[in-house]
Amino acid sequence: MRRVLLAVIALSLVVAPILSLGAVPAMAQDATSNTTATSSEYALSDLQQGGTTHAGAPPSMRFMGSYGSATLRHEPVGLGSEDWEYVDSGASLVKRNEVTLKTIRLGDPAEDLTVHVVAWNRETKTVQTENGTTTEPVAANVTEREVQVSLGRGYDNASVPLPANFGGRQQITMWIEEYPDARWHFEHRSVATTRPISINSWGDFLNALFWRIGVFALPAMVVGWGLAKRHRETAIVGPQWGAVKWIGAFAVPITLLASVWAFQGAVLAVRAPAAIGLLFGPLTYALTLEAGNDKLEQFLFRHQDLEHAKSPRGDEAFDSRYVTHTVKHGVRRESAGELVLIEKGLMPYIARLRGNLAVLDITDVETHKEGRGPYALEIELDPDWKPDDALVHDPPRVARRSLMKRADVPLLGATEIPNPAVVLPIALCVGAGYYVADATLGIPGVGAATGFVVALPFIHYVEEGGADAEPAPYHFTQAEASLAHETAEYADAKLLEEFRDIAWQERMKTPLEARELVEQFDQTVTSQLNATELGDLGLDDVFDDGERDRTDSVNGGVASGDD
């Protein structure tokens, strides 16, 4: 089941970029049949004019005479984006090759309108002056298109195509010839997936898929498999994440590339398809770790707090009044006589790769036994030790270096300064990623983010850990077993004191009855002798009637016994 679930990751990794990037529409077609492009020259000051905005109105709303208005809209790129947005001069970056001109017109206006679309770049040129040479900004690479659109009375709209531009941002100045006040200025860069490609058959598609992606994916998978096998031997087991977390780890960046960063994802897919192929490397790495993971065992560590008590025989003994239980996960290596204690998670896994292992040596531990239920092993800890000292488990951990450090600065003395071990790796990696990605693909933000990820291993270090245990002596378990056996023999007694009282009562029952009979016999004989002696002395009147009757009764019994 685990392998089936993890296979979903591979499917999502391949399908999601295709679906997300395929959601970006192809290059927009011209809205009219009459579109012409020419090279023109315009002053920079004229092209920078973006029309007059109005308070409380949408940022792209412009008046068309006295009885009409127009707004300019565009559609964002990416899944989950809004349907459309207003074009805001200086703030909007139009990523599609078209914009929508929406008008509201009253009266009986002319339907045919001419829209001028001028594309240009801001550059500088050297100018000779009386005082020497100087540089001034100019509009360069100026191209103009005239687009014929038809917009009628009331609410109406038309699509206005923009010239494709895949290299970098270009400036667009647009206005309606019949209404010069309806003027806009914004930036435009074509999303990469609108670039036309020559695929005319399934054969062309499969051939492009292999040579653009597959040729990089195959070696990446081999490298990922080899690294995973090697790292698993070092770290014993993988992160133990399971399918859900791994799917999330791959799905989150793919989702971001398909929605928030759809433009950058499209650039990567079209300009650098090898990036998609290289993603199969970490995918294979994760699959190998999870599919080949050994199941972690559970080890039960017991620590008993002993107090003075009575044994079932009444002797002084120790009794377990409180038992603490600690459960640890790990792997038992029988050949080495070790317990490797494992903490689940990605960071503990990285710490085991770069640091040491928390290992318990159980070759000399005699107070352990095979566990019951979910426990693979049960170990009795020394009761004379504190619980925290009897079992110590301090796994290796990944820690980040401090951003600030204290140093002696000339003229300032001891003060806090940025830690070079953190600042330098981040600055170098982020800066290199920014400029390389900007120069090659035109996506400096993605390059900076990649550089930051590359810098993370340099600003972190591993705190070494370990494990130790103080097992109970062997005779402890023997004594515990003997005490348990004796207690079982006298299970009818609820308390030791109650059992002893019952036992003594049973043992003394017959002697007490015999003693009572002897005392009664002695009293009877003594009374009879006293009555005889007193009668001879003439003192019978001293006895009351009750005493005389009792004596007669006893004499009668004795006499009858003599008969």
Q: Which of 43, 42, 62 is nearest to 51 (CA)?
A: 62
Phi, psi of 170 (to 5 degrees): -125, 155
Q: Supply the pTM of this predicted model.
A: 0.63
What is the arithmetic mean of pLDDT over 498-519?
61
Q: What whole-number percentage of the chain has pLDDT above 70?
A: 72
Tens of pLDDT, residue by residue over 265-301, are 888 878 778 888 888 998 899 888 887 666 788 888 8
Q: Which of 74, 164, 173 is nearest to 120 (CA)?
A: 173
Tens of pLDDT, residue by residue over 193-227, are 777 777 778 888 788 788 888 889 999 999 999 99
Tens of pLDDT, residue by residue over 123-154, are 888 877 777 788 888 888 899 999 999 988 88
The token pair at 183 is 């003027």
- Model confidence at 173, pLDDT cuts 50, 70, 90, reads very high
Question: What does the pLDDT read at residue 13?
Answer: 46
Question: What does the pLDDT read at residue 19?
Answer: 41
How far, CA to CA in Å, does 82 sit from each of 21, 75, 85, 100, 188? 16, 7, 7, 15, 18
How far, CA to CA in Å, does 150 sit from each of 25, 28, 482? 24, 18, 102
Question: What does the pLDDT read at residue 499?
Answer: 55
Tens of pLDDT, residue by residue over 509-562, are 566 666 676 676 667 666 766 666 656 555 455 545 544 454 454 444 444 444
CB contact set of 160 (below 8 Å; sequence gap of 6+): 31, 98, 99, 100, 101, 115, 117, 147, 149, 174
Q: What whole-number percentage of the chain has pLDDT above 90?
A: 18
State how far the Cα of 410 lies from the Cα of 405, in Å rounded to an integer: 15
How far, CA to CA in Å, does 553 sit from each of 116, 175, 338? 149, 146, 90
Task: Please give the residue that has the higher pLDDT: either 347 or 28.
Answer: 347
What is the arithmetic mean of pLDDT over 35-62?
80
Question: What does the pLDDT read at residue 176?
Answer: 92
Question: What does the pLDDT read at residue 500?
Answer: 58
- Inter-residue contact 454 to 433 (CB < 8 Å): yes
118-127, 145-154, 320-329, 361-370, range with the lowest pLDDT: 361-370
DSSP string of 242-295, one letter each residue? -HHHHHHHHHHHHHHHHTTTHHHHHHHHHH-THHHHHTHHHHHHHHHHHHTPPP
Residue 25 has pLDDT above 50, yes or no: no
Domain ranges of the chain: 2-22+202-291, 35-190, 297-396+465-489, 402-463, 496-562
Tokens 């002893």 found at:
500
Residue 112 has pLDDT above 70, yes or no: yes
Question: What does the pLDDT read at residue 425?
Answer: 93
Q: What's the farthest any 2 CA atoms get from each other in the chain? A: 174
Q: Is 322 exposed, middle or buried (0-12, 13-18, 19+ CB in 10 A)?
A: exposed
The token pair at 182 is 């309806």
